[in-house]
Amino acid sequence: MVGFIARFRLGYQMGLMVLVFLTGFILSSAVSMYGLRQVMVNGPLYQQIARDQELIADILPPPAYIVDA
Whether residue 23 is contained in a domain is answered as yes
Tens digits of residue pLDDT in 32-69: 999 999 989 999 999 999 999 999 888 887 777 666 55
Q: Structurally, how many domains does the chain consist of?
A: 1
Neighbours of 43 (CB within 10 A): 13
Whether residue 35 is contained in a domain is answered as yes
What are the residues whose beta carbons fall under 8 Å from the beta carbon of 16, sequence distance 6 or more?
5, 8
Res 1 pLDDT > 70: no
- Note the pLDDT of residue 8: 78
Tens digits of residue pLDDT in 4-34: 767 778 888 899 999 999 999 999 999 999 9
Whether residue 4 is contained in a domain is answered as no
- Note the pLDDT of residue 6: 72
Whether residue 8 is contained in a domain is answered as no
Closest by alpha carbon to 25, among 13, 35, 17?
17
Global model pTM greater than 0.85: no
Q: Which 8-state DSSP code applies to residue 1?
A: -
Whether residue 45 is contained in a domain is answered as yes
